[in-house]
């Protein structure tokens, strides 16, 4: 109620309200303008920056492109491995011990190959998770570009196929068989790249730096390598790690017979190639690959993918599929074969699983 004797004019009230609105507008106009600008800048602008190489709209990646750059990465890493070995500048040192107590070696070849492979893949596919055997030193970052070219043999055999980037994990082994590398046993050395989608290995690349041979395959796609056609299930040739030969030999001969041939070899990549039709004079041939202890996933993922693409199998010693997500180790040992009754092989080797966790 207005004080006695004072009457409020309707016109005066209107002017008072307009003045109040003016003050409020002055106070808040800057805030609202700022919020509007933030909103506009947060939205993708038409004609803005292009999607990063290796990524399609919606966060997808093309597996054919990923295969092409994986092959290139394995070859580029292999060039570093070969250069260091031929220059005899290994600078080998122990980086730790295996679960069995053996010294694990680390060389300049491992580190330079890792740097080249990791940054080539990361530059081409920045949204994809990459797991490597060696630690990546961000202070030693290298710019390695990919010209997005796809080799003709891949173009002819593989069709484009997009998958969500978040479903992809890349495993790289920049130098498989480092111990043999230090001993100059060059035939065992490989560089490898594997692509897993939702934990299943779908792309495998195994490159032999000292002979320039590269095997690659994509599940439900194609490959540049074939399985061998001649096997003898009754007396198979079993390829195993050099350090495990004695552990496997006794059980294998009891299982398959005294004529069973045990082939000690270095490198998981080399052992998988032994199961295939590989045009390499220094490549031994085997029917079954067995590993009876803990093994890292970057050692076996590429070989697993190649075998799967060709209809073969790589499982734990109890027949379980190996998932390439989560931890970087496989606890259950492994058995690998192709064009053989894999289940029957597993049933013949029940005792080996007991040693796989040691």
Tokens of 112: 């330079």
Question: Is 328 a known ligand-binding residue?
Answer: no
Tokens of 165: 């980037």
Please give the Cα distance from 72 to 66 (Å, whole number).
Answer: 10
Q: Strands 168-176 and 129-132: what pairing?
A: parallel
CA 240, 242, 245, 248 torsion-angle sign: negative
* Phi, psi of 62, rounded to the nearest 5 degrees: -90, 120
Question: Is 111 a known ligand-binding residue?
Answer: no
Tokens of 19: 């003045």
Question: Is 133 a known ligand-binding residue?
Answer: yes
Question: Is 176 a known ligand-binding residue?
Answer: yes
Q: Is 338 within 8 Å of 310 (Cβ atoms)?
A: yes
The alpha-carbon radius of gyration of the chain (Å, integer) is 30
Q: Is 270 within 8 Å of 300 (Cβ atoms)?
A: no
Catalytic residue, from 62, 107, 108, 110: name it: 110
Please give the Cα distance from 150 to 68 (Å, whole number).
Answer: 6
Give 269's DSSP letter.
Answer: H
Q: Which of 307, 315, 301 is nearest to 353 (CA)?
A: 315
Please give the Cα distance from 265 to 225 (Å, whole number).
Answer: 21
Please give the Cα distance from 322 to 3 (Å, whole number).
Answer: 88
Is 137 an active-site residue? Answer: no
Question: Is 173 a known ligand-binding residue?
Answer: yes
Task: Tell me the β-bridge partners of 195.
Answer: 170, 203
CB neighbourhood size of 12 (10 A): 10
Is 178 an active-site residue? Answer: yes
Catalytic residue, from 107, 178, 190, 293: name it: 178
Question: Hunting for tokens 């590429």 — which residue is that?
Answer: 302
Rounded alpha-carbon distances, angstroms, from residue 28 to 22, 25, 35, 225, 289: 10, 5, 11, 70, 74
Catalytic residues: 110, 178
Which amino acids are annotated as binding site for Mg(2+), given as ranges? 133, 173, 175-176, 299
């Amino acid at each position: 109620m207005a004080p006695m004797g004072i009457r409020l004019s309707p016109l005066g009230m209107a002017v008072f309200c307009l003045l109040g609105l003016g003050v409020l507008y002055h106070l808040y106009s800057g805030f609202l303008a700022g919020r509007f600008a933030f909103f506009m800048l947060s939205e993708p602008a038409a004609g803005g920056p292009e999607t990063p190489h290796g990524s399609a709209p919606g966060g997808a990646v093309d597996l054919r492109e990923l295969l092409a750059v994986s092959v290139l990465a394995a070859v580029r890493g292999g060039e570093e491995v070969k250069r260091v070995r031929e220059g005899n500048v290994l600078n080998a040192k122990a980086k730790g011990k295996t679960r069995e107590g053996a010294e694990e070696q680390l060389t300049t070849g491992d580190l330079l190959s890792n740097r080249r492979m990791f940054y080539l893949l990361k530059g081409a596919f920045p949204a994809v998770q990459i797991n490597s055997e060696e630690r990546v030193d961000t202070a030693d970052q290298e710019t390695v570009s990919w010209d997005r070219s796809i080799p003709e043999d891949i173009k002819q055999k593989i069709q484009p196929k997009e998958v969500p980037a978040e479903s992809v994990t890349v495993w790289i082994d920049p130098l498989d068989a480092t111990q043999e590398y230090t001993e100059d046993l060059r035939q065992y050395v490989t560089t490898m790249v594997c692509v897993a989608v939702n934990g299943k290995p779908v792309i495998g690349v195994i490159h032999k730096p000292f002979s320039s041979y590269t095997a690659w395959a994509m599940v439900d796609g194609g490959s540049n390598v074939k399985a061998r056609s001649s096997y003898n299930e009754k007396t198979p040739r079993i390829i195993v790690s050099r350090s495990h030969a004695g552990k496997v030999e006794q059980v294998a001969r009891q299982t398959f017979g005294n004529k069973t041939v045990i082939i000690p070899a270095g490198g998981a990549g080399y052992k998988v190639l032994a199961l295939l039709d590989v045009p390499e004079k220094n490549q031994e041939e085997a029917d079954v690959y067995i590993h009876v202890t803990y093994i890292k996933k970057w050692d076996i993922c590429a070989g697993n993918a190649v075998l799967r693409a060709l209809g073969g199998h790589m499982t734990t010693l109890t027949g379980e599929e190996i998932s390439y997500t989560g931890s970087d180790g496989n606890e259950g040992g492994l058995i690998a074969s192709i064009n053989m009754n894999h289940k029957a092989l597993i049933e013949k080797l029940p005792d080996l699983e007991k040693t796989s966790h040691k």
